[in-house]
Amino acid sequence: MTRPVWGIPIVFLLFSCVPAENRRRAAAGIFGGSTAQARPAQADGLAGEGAELVFPDTVRRVLSRALIPGDLSRQVMGAAAEGPQFILDLLACLEGDPYLRRLVDKGHALPEGYEPEDLVELTGGKSYRISRRGLMLRRSAADALENMAAAVRAEGAVLTAASSYRSYQYQVEVYARTVASDGQEEADRVSARPGYSQHQTGLVLDFGPIDNSFAATPGGRWMRDNAARFGWSLSFPDGYETVTGYVWESWHYRYVGPELAAFIDTYFEGIQQYALQFIHEWENTP
Ligand SMILES: [Zn+2]
């Protein structure tokens, strides 16, 4: 069955409003191949049939390379085929700071020696507590934390920042300590190898208490229901150990920005790992 050519002319008009690099990738995503190849296809798409199936095919290929499970893939395919909203939402996620969307997991390390340049120390201030001095986050995450904590506070709960940026060297020590006390296998379930920790991005915060009793606290419940509005996303949800590589960590949130947080919730059932795998493949599929 052939779908109607949904909004492709509209999408191309909107492309003129986004930076060239993202436009190139999105165009390549819609029409396959490089922009050079995309141009004739664009003409075909506007002129008649033929191009409308290329975009869903690209999404299908990326979903498959990103190892997104069947049911979820079908939902994303449905959304992508329905209209231009999916591609527009995806484009919004591809804007700006690439570290917000960077896949950092057991198979994907940060660049060697990566150290964020805009770390600031968390002060707590009026809105949230800090469990110790010296906690650092990148500026964007620290500002977003401030806004979110004020909203939590207004509803009568108080968040505690308990662990944040960890340098490569610090992760060397944490990982070695966990291996020494619990053995290699257990260490890999609960701790990241150096270079592979989301904490090294400077965009991740562990809220206290750092155990799953956090989920039942007023702050923990509030975070579960509202964090995405402020750009924060739960990294390791309950029941997804085989997907994320980590046991449930109800306290570990990553700042991904409001656009990506909404994308994760809207299209990937709130599972950050799936959305990041999808975006990683989208940006790296030739
Ligand atoms: Zn953590």
Structure confidence at residue 54 (pLDDT): 61
Q: 248 CA to middle of ligand 1, Å?
A: 11
Q: How far, in Å, CA of 7 to CA of 197, rounded?
A: 40
Task: From 96, 205, 100, 92, select the one nearest 146 (Cα to Cα).
Answer: 205
Alpha carbon of 93 to ligand 1 centroid (Å): 23
Rounded distance from Cα 66 to ligand 1 centre (Å): 24
Contact at 8 Å (CB) between 189 and 249?
no
For residue 45, the model assigns a pLDDT of 36
Give the mean pLDDT per block of 10 residues along the chain (286 residues).
Answer: 43 45 51 37 37 73 96 96 92 96 97 95 92 97 97 96 96 94 92 95 98 98 98 98 96 98 98 98 89
Compute, in angstroms, the gap from residue 65 CA to the centroid of ligand 1.
27
Beta-bridge partners for 254: 204, 233
- The closest of 279, 268, 261 to 69, measured between CA atoms, is 268
Q: What is the pLDDT of residue 56?
A: 82
- Cα 198 to averaged position of ligand 1 atoms, centre (Å): 8
Token pair listed for 284: 């790296």
- Can you read off the two tokens belonging to residue 226? 């509202």
CA 109 to centroid of ligand 1, rounded, Å: 16
| Dihedral sign from CA coordinates of 194, 65, 236, 101 | positive
- Residue 54, CA atoms < 13 Å, CB-side half-sphere: 19
Evaluate whether 87 touches 58 at the Cβ level (below 8 Å): no
Q: How far is the CA of 285 from the centre of ligand 1 (A)?
A: 30
What pLDDT sits at residue 6?
Answer: 45
Rg of the chain over Cα atoms, rounded to whole angstroms, equals 20
C-alpha of residue 148 to centroid of ligand 1, in Å: 18
| Short-list 40, 34, 85, 94, CA closest to 58 | 34
- Given this model, what pLDDT does residue 10 score? 45
Q: What are the distances in angstroms from CA 230 to CA 141, 159, 223, 224, 262?
A: 10, 14, 10, 12, 10
Output the pLDDT for position 285: 81
Cis peptide before 98 (omega within 30 of 0): no
Helix (H, G, I), strand (E, B) or coil at 183: coil
- 76 CA → ligand 1 middle, Å: 29
Query: How far away, in angstroms, is 53 Cα from ligand 1 center?
Result: 41
Q: What is the pLDDT of residue 184?
A: 94
Distance, CA 204 to ligand 1 centroid (Å)? 7
- pTM listed for this prediction: 0.83
Instruction: State the pLDDT at residue 14.
Output: 45
259 CA distance to ligand 1 middle (Å): 22
How much is the pLDDT for 283?
A: 95
3 state SS of 217: coil
Q: How far is the CA of 205 from the centre of ligand 1 (A)?
A: 6
* Distance from the alpha carbon of residue 70 to the mean position of ligand 1, in angstroms: 29
Q: How far away, in angstroms, is 166 Cα from ligand 1 center?
A: 10
Q: Position of tokens 């869903």?
A: 56
CA of 180 to the centre of ligand 1 (A): 19
Q: In the prediction, which pLDDT does 83 show?
A: 86
Which pLDDT value is given to residue 86?
94
User: What does the pLDDT read at residue 144?
Assistant: 97
Cβ atoms 23, 100 nearer than 8 A: no
Please report the DSSP string for 24-46 in residue order: HHHHHHHH-S-HHHHHHHHHHHH
Instruction: Say what the pLDDT of residue 189 is.
Output: 86
